[in-house]
Amino acid sequence: MSVLEKNHFFIRKLHSLFGVIPVGLFLLEHLYTNSFATQGAASYNSKIEFLQSLSYVLYIEVFLIILPILFHAFYGLYVVYIAKNNVLRYSYYRNWAFYLQRITALITLVFVLYHLWALRISSALLGTEVTFNTMVQHLSNPGMFAFYVIGLLSATFHFANGLWAFFINWGIAVGVKAQQVLGWVTGILFVILSIMGLQGLFAFL
């Protein structure tokens, strides 16, 4: 029996927790920051400058963002690997949501790794700043813009649906009625976050 199999329950709980705190909170903060793009370049640049001026920003990024994302992502790959998908036999909503959670996990991982490299790691290595104009140039290619739209929608769905699973796995939403209500709430959350994110993206056009 492997280490993962022996500690599967504990690691699965930790994986679920990290998906909400801090990874989910980082997604919410990211969407909120990008929403300032709808107010123009000056507003967006001011928000980015504030974040980059925070004390110990490198430690915050590494220990509260990058490492939790990597843990959640790579254990998530293991979960995707062992998952048994049967949507063709049982095509009800929750089964499809389970399947899409795995698909969006893969898409979101590719998207986040690219995004971190293109707009954080490479800019730090080259000593360049991320500004409103940087984003305009980055998203000026239609293919890249489409990639960001797909990545955004995958991330918001993965978070919202993962939040539903989190409340159930941690024993917060108990009972069929509570889980049904939670399904509607997280579904609405997915729509709100997606609209918020898309408005931020389109602002760079």
Render pLDDT for 35-79 as a digit per residue (tens, 0 to 9). 999 999 999 999 999 998 888 888 998 899 889 999 999 898 888
> 114 lies in which domain range?
3-203
The domain that holds 43 is classified in CATH as: 1.20.1300.10
Give burial (CB, 10 Å; 0-12/13-18/19+) of 200.
buried
Q: What's the pLDDT at 90?
A: 46
Q: What is the number of structural domains in the chain?
A: 1
